[in-house]
Amino acid sequence: MNTFMQLQNEAIRLQNADVPVDSDEGLKFAKAYWDMITDFTGGDMSMLPRLIALGQFQNADHKGKEVQDIANGYVEQALGVYFSRLGIEPFQGESEEEAE
C-alpha cells in the first residue's frame, strides 16, 4: 500500500508539473506503476478489476476522491502511452465495465 501511495503522489506531482506522459519521466513513472501492479497481482491479470475497485474505495472522502481522480487521470494516460510503445494491450479481452 505504501508503494501505491507513493506512486499516486508522484502522479499528482507529475500532473501538477505538466510533465508530458510521453516524456522519459512520464514513461519511467508508467513502468514503475505497471511493475507495482504486476508484482501485486503476481501477473494474474484477472485480479485487475478487484485491484481497481479496491483503489477506488481507498479514498472514500470527497477530498481524497478528488486527489485520486487527479492521480488516476495521469496514470491512465501514462500507461496508455507506455503500452502503446511496447505494442501490448494488457486489458485485451476485458469489457470496459470490468476495467472500470
Query: Distances from the Cα of 17 to the Cαs of 2, 10, 36, 74, in angstroms?
Result: 22, 10, 23, 11
Query: Which residues, including other chains, have CB under 8 Å from residue 28's CB and lie 6 or more apart?
Result: none
Are the C-beta atoms of residues 78 and 21 closer than 8 Å to each other? yes
| Residues of the chain above pLDDT 90, percent | 45
For residue 25, the enclosing domain spans 2-99
In this prediction the pTM is 0.77
pLDDT for 100 equals: 43
Q: How many domains does the chain have?
A: 1
Chain mean pLDDT for the chain? 82
Q: Which residues of the chain have pLDDT under 50?
A: 94-100
